[in-house]
Amino acid sequence: MTSEELRINVEKALDEIRPFLQSDGGDISLISIEDDKRVKVQLEGACVGCSVNQMTLKSGVEMTIKKHAPQIEEVLNVE
């Protein structure tokens, strides 16, 4: 998979997650993909101060991204 295909797959994963975040007044943006292994995202809106955002990030976002792009090892939130 090329870096461009990887980016497209990660965006597809984020598009799958976005409606759930938006229903709670939040959103998510792709910041970067490093070494084709680490994805950096930024939680926005209501997600920023939410106490369950780390759980959402690990269980929801990371799991969905890995489903679309299995070579991703880690998803990090940048403040």
Q: Please enumerate in sequence order all residues whose Cβ is within 8 A of that of 48, keeping only pairs 6 or more positions apart, or say none.
A: 26
With a pLDDT cut of 70, the percent of the chain lying above it is: 100
pLDDT value at position 58? Answer: 78
User: Tokens for 9?
Assistant: 């797959």
**pLDDT band per the 50, 70, 90 thresholds, residue 47:** confident
**Are 72 and 37 a contacting pair, CB within 8 Å?**
yes
User: Higher-confidence residue: 48 or 75?
Assistant: 75
**Residue range 3-77 in CATH 3.30.1330.30:** no
Give yes or no for a contact between 39 and 74, defined as CB atoms under 8 angstroms apart. Answer: yes
Q: What is the CA radius of gyration of the chain?
A: 12
Domain ranges (residues) in the chain: 3-77
- pLDDT: is 70 or 48 the higher one? 70
